[in-house]
């Protein structure tokens, strides 16, 4: 064998390997792209080997890692993780209050993360509401006084730290009473005060926060005798504290560390070794079998990371003592106010009537399926893309419908919904809060775009915004939005503004796709409408029942459903104008533009009359669909923010189809969209426009002001992207199969993230693998994507059954669905 081969033999070998790879590739995947084959044929040495490695790598991945295998792995992972977390809760303690008080870590910038649950940041109005008609006592030394001031500043931020330091300090704000009582040591004086409360001769506080030790160390110069006396004094008050804890909440504050390097000479004996000994004495004495006295240790853990910032080495920096105060407020108030982003100290909420109804329906379906007997289910049909207006006609089913198929789909859905409930309602898996850093957003972003480029294929067609390209577009946008949500990037305004463009682009595609469908096909039948509405709303309706959330909570689905209805009405109402009717007629083309102008005026009228908008959508039963927490404001905000995106998409579709009909576009393989001169000019303008918007968005300082501009200028970057992506012929000839795969399930990904990737209704992050954030993201993402894909297939299967083409059967089922939804609305009103 010769070491060197001729160019001809290289080309033949490359072609043969390419054909073999194509022949053995799994169904539905292109393991070797034609671009790679051409490059392999013409290149030598390292370049050729790199291309072959690239091609074979994709082939191996596709061969061994199918979606079926992935789903089986995800099911196994869910079972194992559920068993692990259930066992950990049972044997290791399941009280999130204990987790809140005992441990945690800093995420950065003084943001405290308790172990396994979420910390709610209380506002003054919430604190006042929670503590009304309550009496709270802080008892101890100067460190407890610091904690006292941090606590009352949450009730009234205007409070100043003034007054004699070694005296009692009263605080009254409305119906709330918080007192600081100066007791620097655990001695008889403190015992007498506690006895007064137990005997009822003094008004007993509802909450007592108590702690002391540093003065005992200081006054006795850290001698061991003082520690023995401290233990004895604690034993003397232990029973009294237990009695108080029967009717009040009692917290013993463990001593924070000191920064020995900057302690004054009079405090040098207060060492961390002494602090640890006194803390051990407190825990061993007060931690009785009844365990009624709670220990506040979280502030101590926070101080261990920040005590070096202390001015005098003894007293904590303000940011650290605020952690202790916020932990206390969460411990007292979460069970009362039940904030969605404060999962600590909250129990599983009771099932609502609608949740019980959903559970009953799922249970009946499972029983019916088991009675009919298990059989191999038919393969799921391809998923129609109703968001973009494209749809593959389902094969005609001959003979009577087998009920096992739909029942199996419902059984799968019931198990998936059980997982949803366990993740975001039951007390099984942990939750943590988000924290934004540039690295948590941009590093995953770079990673997914590298993957997207790696999985590139030749497009089957090279028309502007063809099916593969729109799937790709939706796919990468959805992945960016997912990273945006899990990283908490809404706190960074430039990222926020760019993501707002992505949401507008989704609505732009909605307008583009549905206008194109109605304009070209003229299908305004009820079958088409029901298919679209079912596909958009099925998952959300089920989640509203299972997760006990209003329809508007999943805001994107009401938004696209509303705009689909608007597009349908615009195109279906008289006069119905189709492309074949308007062909070559300036009059009918002008009539379409007048229709779009009427829609624009309708939008502007509603946008500039908020009172009219709210009055229309506040009428029952419409209000049940669009209200969130009893207000229409969220729907108004979402609707107004992207109000022109859909009509922009419709107008773009009309212009594009008109130019295409007039044969003014070159959409052949490898050809630029226009002549070279025009293409280069438009490409330059598009790049400049795209960058100009990004520069403007990066300079945004105020969300409200930038949101006011967004509806008018977001279309600039959307159109710029479309032209950049489509003007060059080689760019239209390729697409990312990686992004396109995600684009086909983009709707399910967007909705599922609420409860099984994020947590606490998107306020936090689901923790399946505690203690390892990177591995947790990988595992939770893997399960989340598999679940979303399975739901998309279930939705498609049920759509073929629930929406039959026979008009009589369809009307009967619509009537039944209407009765069911009316029942749901009535039950939700009663609750």
Secondary structure letter of residue 339 according to DSSP: -
Burial class from Cβ neighbours inside 10 Å (0-12, 13-18, 19+) for residue 145 reads buried
Say if residues 348 and 425 touch (Cβ distance below 8 Å). Answer: yes
In the residue annotation, 341 being an active-site residue is answered as: no
Using alpha carbons only, give the angle 512, 517, 522 rounded to the nearest 5 degrees.
Answer: 135
Distance between CA atoms of residues 199 and 192, nearest Å: 10
Residue given tokens 């931020």 in the structure block: 157
In DSSP terms, 169 is beta-bridged to 180
Distance between CA atoms of residues 545 and 359, nearest Å: 9
Q: How far is CA 430 from CA 288, 302, 351, 487, 768, in A?
A: 28, 21, 20, 17, 7
Say if residues 141 and 98 touch (Cβ distance below 8 Å). Answer: no
HEC readout, 231-257: HHHHHHHHHHHHHHHCCCEEEEECCCC
Distance between CA atoms of residues 632 and 622, nearest Å: 11
Say if residues 542 and 536 touch (Cβ distance below 8 Å). Answer: no
Using alpha carbons only, give the angle 416, 417, 418 rounded to the nearest 5 degrees.
Answer: 90
Exposure pattern of 27-63 as b/e (b: 16+ CB <10 Å)? eebbbbbeebbebbbeeeeeebeebbebbeebbeebe
Say if residues 331 and 344 touch (Cβ distance below 8 Å). Answer: yes
Strand 169-173 to 104-108 pairing: unpaired
Q: How many residues are present in the chain?
A: 831
Q: Write out the H or E segment, with its range, that includes residue 105.
A: strand 104-108
Strand 758-759 to 176-182 pairing: unpaired
**Which regions of 255-363 does DSSP assign to beta strands (E)?**
294-296
In the residue annotation, 166 being an active-site residue is answered as: no
Distance between CA atoms of residues 509 and 531, nearest Å: 18
Q: How far is CA 519 from CA 207, 499, 580, in A?
A: 68, 30, 9
- Catalytic residue from among 312, 438, 675, 807: 312
- Catalytic residue from among 315, 485, 710, 789: 315
Q: How far is CA 174 from CA 156, 162, 334, in A?
A: 10, 20, 21
In the residue annotation, 322 being an active-site residue is answered as: no
Tokens of 50: 């790199």
Say if residues 210 and 293 touch (Cβ distance below 8 Å). Answer: no
Backbone angles phi, psi at 80, to 5 degrees: -65, -45
Using alpha carbons only, give the angle 165, 168, 169 rounded to the nearest 5 degrees.
Answer: 85
Tokens of 29: 């995947």
- Catalytic residue from among 142, 380, 666, 694: 142
Burial class from Cβ neighbours inside 10 Å (0-12, 13-18, 19+) for residue 574 reads exposed
Distance between CA atoms of residues 184 and 180, nearest Å: 12
Closest CA to 510 of 634, 383, 638, 390: 390
**Ranges of H-type helices in 341-399:** 353-372
Measured over the CA atoms of residue 773, residue 779, residue 784 and residue 785, the dihedral's sign is positive
Distance between CA atoms of residues 465 and 723, nearest Å: 10
Q: How far is CA 156 from CA 136, 175, 337, 368, 380, in A?
A: 15, 13, 19, 59, 59
In DSSP terms, 176 is beta-bridged to 173
Tell me the catalytic residues: 142, 312, 315
């Amino acid at each position: 064998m010769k070491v060197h081969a001729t160019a001809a033999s290289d080309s033949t070998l490359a072609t043969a390997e390419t054909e073999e790879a194509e022949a053995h590739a799994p169904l539905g995947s292109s393991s070797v792209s034609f671009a790679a084959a051409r490059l392999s044929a013409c290149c030598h040495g390292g370049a050729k080997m790199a291309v072959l490695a690239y091609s074979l790598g994709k082939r191996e991945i596709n061969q061994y890692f199918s979606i079926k295998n992935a789903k089986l792995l995800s099911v196994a992972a869910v079972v194992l993780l559920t068993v692990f977390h259930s066992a950990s809760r049972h044997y290791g303690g399941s009280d999130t209050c204990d987790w809140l008080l005992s441990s945690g870590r800093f995420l950065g910038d003084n943001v405290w993360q308790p172990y396994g649950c979420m910390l709610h940041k209380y506002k003054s109005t919430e604190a006042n509401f929670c503590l009304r008609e309550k009496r709270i006592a802080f008892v101890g030394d100067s460190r407890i006084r610091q904690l006292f001031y941090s606590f009352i500043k949450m009730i009234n931020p205007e409070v100043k730290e003034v007054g004699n330091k070694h005296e009692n300090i009263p605080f009254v704000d409305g119906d709330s009473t918080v007192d600081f009582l100066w007791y620097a040591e655990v001695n008889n004086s403190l015992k007498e005060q506690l006895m007064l409360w137990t005997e009822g001769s003094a008004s007993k506080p509802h909450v007592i926060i108590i702690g002391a030790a540093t003065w005992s160390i200081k006054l006795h110069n850290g001698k061991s005798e003082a520690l023995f006396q401290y233990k004895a004094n604690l034993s003397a008050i232990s029973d009294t504290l237990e009695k108080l804890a029967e009717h009040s909440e009692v917290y013993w504050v463990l001593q924070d560390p000191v920064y020995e390097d900057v302690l004054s000479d009079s405090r040098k004996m207060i060492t961390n070794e002494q602090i640890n000994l006194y803390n051990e004495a407190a825990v061993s004495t007060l931690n009785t079998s009844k365990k009624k006295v709670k220990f506040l240790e979280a502030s101590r853990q926070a101080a261990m990371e920040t005590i070096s910032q202390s001015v005098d080495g003894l007293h904590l920096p303000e940011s650290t003592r605020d952690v202790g105060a916020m932990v206390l407020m969460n411990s007292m108030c979460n069970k009362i106010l039940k904030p969605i982003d404060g999962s600590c100290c909250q129990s599983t909420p009771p099932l609502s009537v609608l949740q019980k109804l959903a559970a009953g329906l799922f249970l009946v379906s499972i029983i019916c399926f088991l009675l009919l007997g298990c059989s191999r289910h038919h393969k799921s049909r391809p998923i129609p893309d109703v968001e973009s207006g494209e749809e593959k006609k389902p094969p005609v089913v001959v003979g009577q419908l087998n009920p096992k198929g739909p029942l199996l789909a419902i059984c799968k859905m019931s198990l998936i919904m059980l997982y949803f409930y366990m993740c975001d309602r039951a007390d099984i898996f942990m939750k943590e809060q988000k924290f934004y850093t540039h690295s948590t957003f941009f590093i995953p972003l770079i990673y997914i775009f590298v993957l997207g480029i790696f999985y590139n294929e030749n497009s089957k067609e090279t028309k502007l915004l063809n099916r593969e390209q729109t799937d790709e577009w939706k796919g990468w946008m959805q992945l960016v939005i997912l990273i945006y949500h899990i990283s908490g990037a809404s706190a960074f305004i430039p990222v926020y503004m760019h993501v707002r463009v992505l949401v507008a682009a989704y609505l732009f595609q909605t307008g583009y796709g549905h206008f194109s469908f109605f304009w070209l096909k003229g299908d305004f039948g009820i079958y088409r409408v029901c298919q679209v509405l079912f596909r958009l709303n099925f998952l959300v309706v089920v989640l509203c029942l299972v997760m006990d959330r209003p329809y508007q909570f999943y805001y994107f689905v009401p938004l696209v459903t509303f705009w689909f209805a608007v597009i349908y009405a615009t195109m279906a109402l008289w006069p119905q104008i189709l492309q074949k009717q308007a062909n070559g007629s300036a009059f009918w083309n002008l009539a379409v533009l007048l229709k779009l102008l009427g829609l624009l005026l309708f939008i502007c009228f509603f946008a500039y009359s908020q009172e009219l908008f709210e009055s229309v959508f506040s009428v029952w039963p419409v209000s049940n669909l669009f209200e969130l927490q009893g207000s229409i404001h969220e729907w108004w905000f979402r609707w107004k923010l992207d109000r022109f995106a859909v009509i922009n998409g419709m107008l773009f579709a009309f212009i594009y189809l008109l130019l295409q009909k007039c044969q003014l576009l070159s959409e052949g393989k490898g050809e630029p969209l226009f002549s070279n001169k025009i293409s280069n000019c438009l490409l330059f303008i598009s790049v400049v426009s795209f960058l100009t918007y990004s520069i403007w968005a990066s300079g945004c300082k105020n969300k409200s002001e930038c949101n006011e501009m967004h509806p008018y200028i977001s279309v600039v970057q959307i159109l710029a992207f479309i032209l950049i992506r489509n003007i060059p012929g080689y760019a239209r000839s390729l697409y990312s199969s990686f992004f396109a795969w995600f684009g086909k399930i983009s709707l399910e990904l967007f909705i599922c993230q609420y409860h099984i990737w994020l947590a606490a209704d998107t306020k936090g992050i689901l923790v399946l693998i505690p203690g390892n954030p990177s591995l947790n993201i990988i595992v939770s993402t893997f399960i989340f994507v598999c679940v979303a894909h399975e739901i998309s297939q279930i939705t498609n299967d049920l759509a073929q059954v629930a929406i039959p083409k026979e008009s009589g059967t369809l009307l009967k089922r619509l009537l039944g669905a209407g009765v069911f939804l009316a029942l749901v609305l009535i039950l939700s009103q009663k609750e």
